[in-house]
């Protein structure tokens, strides 16, 4: 083989390698989207829920889902979705959730009326609920 063909072959291999390395990676598979519950205001993709967020999910289901819907998707006529850009950490920090649970909150983004305080939850309980909500928000592009 002549040096000319060796050089052309090496160039072709290098080009193929560059294309393989530089092509965009396929997008990650989106978490499965649960079908909206009756009355839900938004569709929600659920990530795997583990650790404190899993404990928070159980607390949420017991203390919050009646108004805020399963997985924080909202409940038409009862309470807003927490899986919504309004509740992103930059607009509603974790402490705003703590205060809403402890003291209630006046209606200011939605027309559901004021949220009353939620009794029987500690700051630790609410922190785990926040971990759950933030995990779902991240899976839905809210962070």
DSSP string, 58-82: HHHHHHTHHHH-GGG--BTTTB--S
Consecutive H or E run containing 34: strand 33-34
Q: How far apart are the C-alpha atoms of 61 and 86, rounded to whole Å?
A: 21
What tokens does 109 get? Answer: 């983004």
Of 101, 99, 92, 95, nearest to 68 by C-alpha is 101
Domains and CATH numbers, the chain: 33-139 (1.10.760.10)
The pLDDT assigned to 7 comes to: 53
pLDDT in tens, 83-142: 999 999 999 999 999 999 999 999 988 999 999 999 999 999 999 999 999 999 999 999
Residue 140, classed as helix, strand or coil, is: coil
Q: Using one digit for the tens of pLDDT, what is the confidence trace for 16-40?
A: 544 544 454 444 545 555 556 678 8
Question: Could you give the maximum distance between any two Cα atoms of the chain, in Å?
Answer: 84
H-run or E-run covering 133: helix 123-139
């Amino acid at each position: 083989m002549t040096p000319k063909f060796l050089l052309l072959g090496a160039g072709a291999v290098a080009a193929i390698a560059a294309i393989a390395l530089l092509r965009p990676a396929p997008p990650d598979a989106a978490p499965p989207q649960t079908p909206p519950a009756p009355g839900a205001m938004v569709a929600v993709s659920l990530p795997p829920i583990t650790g404190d967020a899993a404990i928070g999910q159980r607390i949420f289901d017991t203390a919050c889902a009646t108004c805020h819907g399963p997985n924080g998707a909202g409940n038409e006529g009862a309470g807003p979705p927490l899986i919504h850009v309004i509740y992103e950490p930059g607009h509603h920090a974790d402490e705003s959730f703590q205060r809403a649970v402890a003291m209630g909150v006046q209606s200011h983004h939605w027309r559901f009326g004021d949220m009353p305080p939620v009794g029987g939850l500690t700051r630790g309980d609410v922190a785990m609920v926040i971990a759950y909500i933030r995990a779902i928000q991240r899976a839905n592009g809210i962070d």
